[in-house]
Structure 1
């Protein structure tokens, strides 16, 4: 089995995205991710992003470096960067959900205060997967 890497980051939009701008961003991301074999989830709330990427380690890191250079967002912080046994979002080149304040606060509360290594598995990754499963019902 090929190695898989998961990466979760948060960032803030320089300017809030209009619905059509988000749709264009998602369309491009989905095409690119499908071509690269990357899957994941993008959450958006009030100009803030949280994104989960999973795929081959080199591919995920290269894609994240490219995403980090995008001038439409800043204050980029990596929350999780760890190997995973399997994909959480294998059917989604880029799942998307606009979240409300309570959901965003729940996600933000799971972000560790320090940037050190996370103990045995990532609570952030688990929370994102649980959140997505509950939204998909």
Structure 2
């Protein structure tokens, strides 16, 4: 699956939006990473997304002695309020949404398989009594 810079931007900004944060609002890197896992995108995509949004001036880094926070800038807050973000209708915006939905669906399927939701019985396993009837 090809993930465009615009898709990474939408995914990361959506985390701030879902958190109800506005300009000056911050999230720790650890909190962002936990939220990123729900996007279904890769960890390397997270690093790329942060770099892209820092370069575009939509986010800033604030260092603390024990951690690092990522702050939503006024430009980032304005992007969240833009019609293209709130009411996507152009083909590139809709493609970003499709990509994110596909990523979330794949991640959900992987979690289900890992949790046993679709785990198959090995041929050498004996069926339990409930499976015989």
Pairwise same-fold verdict (TM > 0.5): no
TM-score where L is the length of structure 1: 0.25
| Larger-gyration structure (1/2) | 2
Q: TM-score under structure 2 normalisation?
A: 0.26
Question: Which structure: greater strand fraction?
Answer: 1
Whose helix proportion is higher, 1 or 2? 2
Relative contact order higher in (CA < 8 Å, ≥ 6 apart): 1
